[in-house]
Chains A and B, each alone.
Chain A
Amino acid sequence: MNEMPILQVQEVTKTFGGILALNRVSFDVREGEILGIIGPNGSGKTTIVNCITGFVKMSSGKIFFRGKEITGKPAHKIADLGVTRTFQIMRPYYSLPAYKNLVIPLFSPRAKRTGGWRGGGKLGDRNTVGIDILEEIGFERDSFVPYKMASALPTGYLKRLELARCLALRPEIVLCDEVFSGLSMSEIASMVPLIERLQMDGITLIMIEHRLRELFRVADRVLVLNFGEKLFEGTPEEVMANEKVKKAYFGSEEVEEVMTYA
């Protein structure tokens, strides 16, 4: 494949005081793929998302989006290019109903340019477009869930609302920071087809996950981080078979047997 990667991350390093959160991490993301990022707690997964989306200034390194450098740009400029993110700790507008939550991103310059998800924002009233997006992402219109206050929504809906906020911008890349965590098995089961549909619609997804089984089902490639360094990169099968990854996750070799039984 000699196409230009949609996102190139080159030697990104981030230090918080004396702590090295990311140490020269490099990887490419191909257009239209789902890239999983996994790693034990504190391995720098969220930090890499923060660096890419401009929420945190990286100490050194470069990031290119479609060949153009986006290093050091402010967060809203990067989102304006179509590189959007969800937050691990959900950040809805709690004082507004769910559909009004989408009026805000639909009001953004990018949504005004692109018309938002499916392009409806250029024509219609932002309230109805917001409800359309919510319905597509699993808020049943007839159940009045889109009209509920965000503060009254359960976690599953809030995770979807995070995704919907990205979709309202008509994104090119969505960086999902643990969209499966905190969800029940049945909620995840309904989320997986949604992720697959977004991929079919041409959105490139970068997914940070702890729920490996579900991630491996949808991901095309997986990147493993450990103590801020890139440990391994490959297909889900390769990752599962890799010894280094097992060690990072389970520590010593004796525990390995436990994993095979599990």
Chain B
Amino acid sequence: MTFIDRRKERLDRGIKVRADGIYALMSWRELSYLTLPRMVLIAGMLLLPLLMPNLYWQRVISIVCIYALLALSFDFLAHFVGLVSLGGALYIGTGAYLAAILNKKLGLSLLFTIPAASITGALICTLLLLPCLPLRGVYFAIVSLMYPLAIARVIEALNIFGGTDGIMGIESFPNNWVEQYFGIIMVLLFLFGLRRLVNLDIGLVFRGVKDNDQAVRASGMSVAYYKAVAVFIAATMGCLAGACLSHTYMFAGISLFALDFSILPIAATVIGGSGTLAGPVLGCLILVPISELLRSFGTLRIAIYAVVLMAFIVFKSEGLMVYGQRKYHQFERWVKI
């Protein structure tokens, strides 16, 4: 029989404690302690396309950005608003089809289709999800998963929007660089925007809705309204990703309502660390290239995926980012008890 006679003690580093206050402005060391991780992320993301060996891998970067936007929206809704949304495919599909229709039928250029598809797509998704907003947890997840499945079948059955063939010949991005850097800049904008948002007063209300929606009601605020606003924000990101995807593939079809877009962001969030917002982006940077590398295995890659995911949940359920943050901010040492 073994006795546990020690435990891990965690202490905040002095520099973290000081850097939390205004003192950080007083020394370069403390200033860089605060900004360095952010700079590494930004610089890394911006350099990524330059480091890619060929066109194929540059395309992968665009896909990473699309999934990163979805993962960000999932993490925001799940961790800060308490809505576990599997609507990734719904957002992607809606955004992609809208961009395709605006581009092909109305002949609008990509400068207009992407913002227009993001906003109107987000409105449509919010309206669709509005009746389910009182639902919580897994119930909301189920309903948000049903929408993309249903819409794909409706398009198929009614043979609208090109039916099973989809809409082809959509205008592409002017060149590869625009495509990649547009995605990267959008991911960075939404990442830092969301991080700021959740610490604003309205962000606290979102977190309040997750923590305790009855108390929010008792404070004279409509829970449904704030949930709708949050879903709109998340859907904007998703539809933006969808619009980018349709312009990247030059195609919009029912395959864009596929479950991948709902599931992979969750996997990325689990691996990256939920609730950190940067974590899901990191998760996508790992998962999407792995998924590309495994492409030669065919459908077996889903199985390998599942194993990776399970391993993470069992052995490192906190996620990479949470782990990294802890190591960065805290000392750890064993102490006798």
A positions within 8 Å CB-CB of B: 53, 55, 74-77, 79-80, 84-85, 87, 91-96, 100, 103-111, 126, 165-166, 168-169
Name the contact of B221 in the complex, choosing from A85, A87, A93, A109 (C-beta under 8 A).
A109
Contact A108 B211 (CB under 8 A): no
Query: Contacting chain A: which of B33-41, B212-220, B318-326?
Result: B212-220
B222 beta carbon closer than 8 Å to chain A: yes
Cα–Cα distance between A95 and B203 once the two chains are bound (Å): 13
Which residues of A sit under 8 angstroms from B214, Cβ to Cβ? 55, 87, 91
Name the contact of A95 in the complex, choosing from B202, B207, B220 (C-beta under 8 A).
B207
B positions within 8 Å CB-CB of A: 201-202, 204-205, 207-208, 210-212, 214-223
Name the contact of A76 in the complex, choosing from B202, B211, B217 (C-beta under 8 A).
B217
Contact B218 A79 (CB under 8 A): yes
Which residues of B sit under 8 angstroms from A109, Cβ to Cβ? 220-221
Which residues of B sit under 8 angstroms from A108, Cβ to Cβ? 219-221
Shortest CB-to-CB span from A180 to chain B, Å, is 19
Q: Which of B208, B215, B218, B223 has the most CB of A within 10 A?
A: B218
Q: Which residue of A lies closest to B221 (CB)?
A: A108
Name the contact of B222 in the complex, choosing from A76, A84, A105, A111 (C-beta under 8 A).
A76
Which residues of A sit under 8 angstroms from B221, Cβ to Cβ? 76, 104, 107-109
Contact B205 A104 (CB under 8 A): yes
Q: A76-B223, A107-B201, A126-B201 are in contact. Are A93 and B208 (CB under 8 A)?
A: yes
| Sample of 16 further A-B pairs with CB below 8 A, known A79-B218, A111-B220, A169-B219 | A75-B217, A76-B219, A80-B220, A92-B212, A92-B215, A93-B207, A94-B212, A95-B207, A104-B219, A104-B221, A105-B220, A106-B201, A107-B204, A108-B220, A110-B220, A126-B201
Contact B220 A91 (CB under 8 A): no
Shortest CB-to-CB span from A111 to chain B, Å, is 8
Q: Which residue of B lies closest to A110 (CB)?
A: B220
Contact A93 B211 (CB under 8 A): yes
For this complex, 23 residue pairs linking A to B, each with C-beta atoms less than 8 Å apart, are A55-B214, A76-B221, A77-B220, A84-B220, A87-B214, A87-B218, A93-B211, A95-B207, A95-B210, A95-B211, A96-B211, A104-B205, A104-B216, A104-B219, A106-B201, A107-B201, A107-B204, A107-B205, A108-B219, A111-B220, A126-B201, A165-B215, A166-B218
Contact A74 B215 (CB under 8 A): no
Shortest CB-to-CB span from B143 to chain A, Å, is 22
Contact A93 B201 (CB under 8 A): no
Cα–Cα distance between A95 and B199 once the two chains are bound (Å): 13
Contact B219 A105 (CB under 8 A): yes
Which residues of A sit under 8 angstroms from B220, Cβ to Cβ? 76-77, 79-80, 84, 105, 108-111, 169
Which residues of A sit under 8 angstroms from B219, Cβ to Cβ? 76, 79, 104-105, 108, 165, 168-169
Name the contact of A53 in the complex, choosing from B218, B222, B223 (C-beta under 8 A).
B218
Cα–Cα distance between A74 and B213 once the two chains are bound (Å): 14
Name the contact of B204 in the complex, choosing from A77, A85, A103, A166 (C-beta under 8 A).
A103
